[in-house]
Amino acid sequence: MKTELKKKLSKVKDFENPRISLEQYQTPPALATDLLHAAEMQGDLEEVIDLGTGTGIFAIGAALAGTEVTAVEKDSKALKTAKENAEKLGVAEKIEFIQKDVREVSGSWKTVFMNPPFSQHSEEGSRFWVKATAIGEKVYSVSPSTGREGIKSLIKSSNHRVVELEEFKINLPATNGFHTQENRETSVDLIITEVIDNGN
């Protein structure tokens, strides 16, 4: 499953003109595959919402596994690309795309996927975590290793607990004008959280 999923996700089109203010970059297919596979192994690929779907890689990956997905994105251009990607990979009918700021999302889902902004230029990343832990039973996230302690503090103040945290090295392309290297190695954490069961 992993090899085939990674192959399909490698066809997901990237951002054409990434917005610096939203810190847009596409989640590497290998990383998205690892997180989706972990969710499938835990039986969590159901009632899925992808917060800040970007070009749709998490939503599309979950849909390829047969799941109905809600994909939320506030940037209209990114959302258009995500829809095109879903159509190209034949899963558009399984994904409900919604243009909305994550703070306006209401409801409840079993599983939240997200790769929020790394918050070097904004507080967006914190807003994602606050919303994700409020609406989801489980959260699967890619987060910057440099912000690990702050994220753990946010989770601790919510009704969630960290189930798993693993650090990965990824190469991010120089998509923004202020990046001087063609590719820069960045440490990211794959973080899985779940609602605390007060009955135990």
3-state secondary structure of 17: coil
Give the model's pLDDT for residue 25. 59
d(CA 180, CA 200): 51
Phi, psi of 171 (to 5 degrees): -100, 120
Can you give the pLDDT at residue 9?
Answer: 84
pLDDT computed for residue 27 by the predictor: 75
pTM for this predicted structure? 0.86
Burial class of residue 156 (count of CB atoms within 10 Å of its CB; 0-12, 13-18, 19+): exposed
**In the numeric block, which tokens belong to residue 15?**
């951002």
Q: Please, are residues 47 and 110 in contact by the beta-carbon 8 Å criterion?
A: yes
How does pLDDT run along the chain (200 residues), one tens digit per residue? 678 888 888 878 664 554 444 444 567 888 889 999 999 999 999 999 999 998 899 999 999 999 999 999 998 988 999 999 999 999 999 999 999 999 999 999 999 999 887 655 456 778 999 999 999 999 999 988 888 998 999 999 999 999 999 998 876 655 444 344 455 677 889 999 999 986 55
| Per-residue model confidence (pLDDT) at position 198 | 63
Give the whole-angstrom CA distance, residue 97 versus residue 71: 5
What is the distance, to the nearest Å, from the Cα of residue 57 to the centroid of all Cα atoms in its chain? 8
Which H or E run contains 131?
Answer: helix 124-135
